[in-house]
Amino acid sequence: MAALACSLLISNGGNDSREADPFETDIDLDTTYHKAVLLDPGTIAVDLPSSYSQADEGIVTSVKDQSPWGTCWAFAGTAAAETAILKCLGTTAEESGLDLSERHLVWFSSHPVTAEDSLSQQGEGIHVLGETADNANITFDVAGTSDMFSYLYSCGIGPVLEKDFPYRGVIGFSSLDFFTNEAYAEKSEAALGSIFESLYGGDFDAVYAKLKKEGKIQSFIDTETKRGLEFPEGTTPDNLSKESCMKALRAYVVKVYTRSDEYSKYDDWSIPATDERGESNRFLTAGCSLLNGNVLPDTVVVADKKYAGINEYTIKMIKKEIYEGKGISVGYKHSSSIYNAETGAIYNPEFAGMNHYVQIVGWDDGYSKDNFLVAPEKDGAWLIKNSWGSETDGHVINGKTYYDDVGFKNADGKATGFMWISYYDRTMTAIESLEFTDKLSDEEGFNTYMHDYLPGIEQRCFSSDTATKTANVFKIESDEKLTALSISTTWVRSDVSVAVYLLSSGYKSPEDGTKVYSFSKVIENAGYHTIFLDAPIGMKAGQSVSIVVEEKNTNFREGKTVYLASPSLCPDKTGAQTDDFPRYGESVVNEGESFLFNLGKWMDWSKVAPKMVDGLPMVIDNFSIKAFTVDA
């Protein structure tokens, strides 16, 4: 996406003799990027071994296969959630058999909320460009981001169990079924035509005409025969037909899926908004909720848009999070040209964008740089779990297990699905750390109050030199007790203060009432954080309650304290189309939901938010502040 960089000072205009609207006031908020201050790794107070693996602790689930879709981001996020939940519950993958649903995550990360989810916010969320009722599966084959899964979990949307929404279509037929079963003959013939076009750049007639004109039909037959296509005996440039070519292509495809099948992408993979009882399929969990979704700094230091070294602070922070049982996901750029298939090791020396997500499950400071095709500057590597299958776990399709030769080999010579990536890889980014709790929704009558359903795909934050606070106001539906709340932070080591107010009748601001709770501490990492109250706060039906958050940071601009705020930002449809980005957002910011304190005044965010993105191809949401209650 194009970078958003603007500094706003919005004024109500000066010489108007009318009484000023209290929400039309000056705003001192800056969204310009600032160089991150590099922190000393020695300030992370933890003793760490030279090597460690969460797999040895039993808290890493089996290697999965993401086929037939480009859903690596969802598999990495789900795998990280599984590890964090196993640590939370004090059990192992083998004992629990824990398996969470990637399909539920993918679907609801890219579909807006409905009236069944929220009457006030319906329509808000992520959309996929080009999706229609006839091609809903496109959702599964466009790139995703780590923000999408951590944000969904922070909203209490998932994770859910695999058995509830398994990674397959509604009918459940496989690719082998699709290309061999007469029931799918017409659809599979059309699919073969698409495969042919993707392989050769056009339909049969166009490709044949081009080959004939260039005198290359025999070369085409020879090349494709070497590839594995079996044309009828006696096939020549004069008698090659579309029918014989498609028959050979079908036989080749069947051979491929006989070796390693997958659930078919030509099935219907969608999930209805509601179940058979008319209740939302979105707000489901497997009993555990996100405690912390930490966004860790990149391992790569950038200066003037160029690689400038490795962030040793992040290296140690990742190790600390892994050692404490957090689930870690990361993006990097994979390329077969720099991947050592013998050792399962990869190091990318080029500073470039990422194209793949995996889970980090361990490290080894002594992993030799000689194990990489291109040697990094030093030894040391992360142990990563991929989502391209393995020979040790296999993947089961319609009761049959298939195996994939991916990753380094174990003592028995079988590919494990695990790989190594150098500490010094120059493409690692989007590092997320997940921690879960089973204490949030373990009571009957659990409720979540929130105004934000839009993941922050566009990573920006607002800063100010003057005191700035954000707040959400919620109207309580019945007699309830506030037991916990959730906030988001934007930078490393922020000084965060939170206050809860029971608001007065006819309140004028989010602080116009009785303060019933306050909390203040330094939060180590940016991200989403759940805070449990020391004691529940009783609230009556119809009572309005506010949660006020102040985030200050001295690591955002060197030598200066700034105030930070972080509403979700996302490209709108025009921005997504212009930048060829597959997803766009829609937001609903109603009056009286979110508030901003800046330059000494409280303002309704619904009046301010449109101005923050005025003229930009963006949408902006309410603040990510939530209240968790139980019925009194």
Residue 603 contacts by C-beta under 8 Å, 6 or more apart in sequence? 22, 23, 25, 27, 595, 596, 597
Given this model, what pLDDT does residue 20 score?
33
Give yes or no for residue 444 having a pLDDT over 70.
Answer: no
Helix axes 185-200, 204-214, angle to 10 degrees: 40
- pLDDT on residue 460: 67
Fold of 46-164+287-434: Cathepsin B; Chain A (3.90.70)
Structure confidence at residue 179 as a pLDDT band (50, 70, 90): very high
CATH 3.90.70.10 spans which residues of the chain? 46-164+287-434
Tokens of 590: 């109603």
- Percent share of the chain, pLDDT over 70: 94
Residue 558 pLDDT > 80, yes or no?
Answer: no
Q: What's the pLDDT score for residue 6?
A: 28
Per-residue model confidence (pLDDT) at position 10: 31
Q: Is the pLDDT of residue 459 over 90?
A: no
The confidence band for 2, taking pLDDT boundaries of 50, 70 and 90, is very low
23 band by pLDDT with thresholds 50, 70 and 90:
very low
- Closest Cα to residue 396, out of 404, 384, 408? 404
Q: What span, in angstroms and rounded, lies between the C-alpha atoms of 311 and 327?
A: 20
pLDDT digits (tens, 9 = 90+) for 303-346: 888 889 999 999 999 999 999 999 999 999 999 999 999 999 99
The string of DSSP codes covering 531-572 is: EEEEEEEEE-TT-EEEEEEEEEEEEEETTEEEEEE---EEE-
Q: Determine the pLDDT at residue 190.
A: 95
Q: Is the pTM of this model over 0.85?
A: yes
Q: Kindly state the average pLDDT of the residues 399-425.
A: 96
pLDDT in tens, 265-291: 999 999 999 999 988 999 888 889 999
What is the predicted pLDDT for the residue at 614?
86
DSSP 499-538: EEEEEPTT-SSTTSEEEEEEEEEEESSEEEEEEEEEEEEE
Query: Do 283 and 157 form a contact (C-beta atoms < 8 A)?
Result: yes
Average pLDDT of the segment spanning 349-357: 94
Q: Is 459 helix (H, G, I), strand (E, B) or coil?
A: coil
CA torsion, ordered 473, 475, 480, 482, to nearest 10 deg = 0
**400-402 and 300-303 beta bridge pairing:** unpaired
Which pLDDT value is given to residue 147?
Answer: 81
Could you tell me the two tokens for 335?
């390329």
How would DSSP label each residue in 50-68?
Answer: SEEEGGGGT-SPPP-B-TT
Q: Categorize the per-residue pLDDT at 441 as very low, low, confident or very high, splitting at 50, 70 and 90.
A: low
The overall average pLDDT reported for the chain is 91
- Rounded CA gap, 531 and 542, in Å? 24
pLDDT over 90 (residue 361): yes
Q: What is the DSSP letter of 11?
A: -
Is pLDDT at 19 greater than 50 in this prediction?
no
pLDDT band at 9 (very low <50, low <70, confident <90, very high): very low
Tokens 């994770």 correspond to 159
Q: What is the pLDDT of residues 190-245, one digit of tens each?
A: 999 999 999 999 999 999 999 999 999 999 999 999 989 999 999 999 999 999 99
pLDDT 10s digits, 236-267: 999 999 999 999 999 999 999 999 999 999 99
Cβ atoms 159, 100 nearer than 8 A: yes
